[in-house]
Amino acid sequence: MPRFEYIRRSMIESRERFARFRREEDSRRPREPQPEVVTVARRSTFTGTTAGLRLVAAIHFSWAEALQTDIIIVFKTGELESRLNGYRIDVSGGSAYNSASIINYPENNAVNQKWYFRDDGSIESGLGKQWVLDVQGADTNAGTKVILYERKDGGPSINQQFDVVPYVPATSAICSELNDYAIDVRQANAANSTEIISYPCHGGTNQGWTFEKNGSIVSGMGSTWVLDDAAGGGAGTNVILYTWHGGKNQQWYISTE
């Protein structure tokens, strides 16, 4: 088996194993009330799985290229808020017309920042029931703009329909081939220089890790805590938990060699 494929499968297996432990642990905890504000991913019903994934990319690049983040739905107010800067998804200029631009803009409580999720899959603007979000030209290519457009006669067209689904970061356990033990933050101590150890997998947050685009491996104990090469390199160097500062000793990659 090629080395890269082996690594890929190992990561998938460890992620599934970690998720199973988390589900078992969560099932033993009392249920808590659902929050009013949730993080979501965007998925379209656009003609099949592959096309839907392409449309996700289209929406990501048109809305979130500037945001570089997911969207938070604020159900209480009907606004869509960026986690990056708290700005809202906004109809540019506040005027409703076909092909009006959708932008990221500071909160102003105006109707052009209000959105309503309808049962037919459309996302309706506060500017009027006939105005909905639309993937311009039904183009499935990444980078396609999301615009405002009149709802099609008889109901929204497929490029005016969206699903909103819960988003969960891809947290995985990192397990040793030696004994299937997981990389673990000793005693779940969220503090600089805490040792990273090998420990039986139990699904706790101190065994959960997320691989980020900036090269960091972030702990499930908090987004500021990452794996850190304590001495900056060398055989036998300790790996510890440390707050993110962007140094090369906190950046990691998977080698296929």
Report the pLDDT value the prediction gives residue 90, as an integer from 0 to 100.
93
> The tokens of 16 are what?
């599934």
Stronger pLDDT, 174 or 98, i.e. the higher one: 98
Distances in Å between the Cα of 17 and the Cα atoms of 5, 11, 53, 158, 173 are 18, 10, 25, 37, 8
Report the pLDDT value the prediction gives residue 118, as an integer from 0 to 100.
86
Stronger pLDDT, 167 or 194, i.e. the higher one: 194
Report the pLDDT value the prediction gives residue 196, as an integer from 0 to 100.
95
CB atoms within 10 A of CB 25: 13
Q: What average pLDDT score do residues 156-168 get?
A: 73
For 120-158, the pLDDT digits (tens) are 888 899 999 999 999 989 888 877 889 999 998 888 888
Q: Which of the residue ranges 16-30, 54-68, 169-183 has the most confident prediction, judged by mean pLDDT?
A: 169-183
> The tokens of 69 are what?
């983040």
Report the pLDDT value the prediction gives residue 253, as an integer from 0 to 100.
76
Runs of H (alpha helix) within 111-213? none
Distance CA 215, CA 206 (A): 19
Q: Which of the residue ranges 168-177, 178-187, 188-197, 211-220 has the most confident prediction, judged by mean pLDDT?
A: 188-197
Stronger pLDDT, 253 or 3, i.e. the higher one: 253
Q: Give 37-164's CATH code, choosing from 3.40.920.10, 3.40.50.1700, 2.80.10.50, 3.40.50.300.
A: 2.80.10.50
> The tokens of 168 are what?
């969960």
Beta bridge partners of 217: 211
Report the pLDDT value the prediction gives residue 212, as an integer from 0 to 100.
81
Query: What's the pLDDT band for 172 if we cut at 50, 70, 90?
Result: confident
For 64-119, the pLDDT digits (tens) are 333 334 455 554 567 887 766 778 889 999 999 999 999 989 999 899 999 988 88
Q: Which of 216, 214, 223 is nearest to 239 (CA)?
A: 216
Report the pLDDT value the prediction gives residue 177, as an integer from 0 to 100.
77
Q: What average pLDDT score do residues 43-56 get?
A: 34
The answer to whether 3-32+169-250 and 37-164 have equal CATH topology is yes
Residue with tokens 């060699």, as numbered in its chain: 257
Report the pLDDT value the prediction gives residue 150, as an integer from 0 to 100.
95
Positive/negative CA dihedral, 130, 136, 138, 141: negative
Q: What average pLDDT score do residues 217-246 get?
A: 89
> The tokens of 150 are what?
């009149």
Distance CA 127, CA 89 (A): 13
In words, the CATH class of domain 3-32+169-250 is: mainly beta
Q: What residue segments make up the domains of the chain, in order of their start?
A: 3-32+169-250, 37-164
The overall average pLDDT reported for the chain is 75
Q: What average pLDDT score do residues 193-220 get?
A: 89
Distance CA 185, CA 198 (A): 9
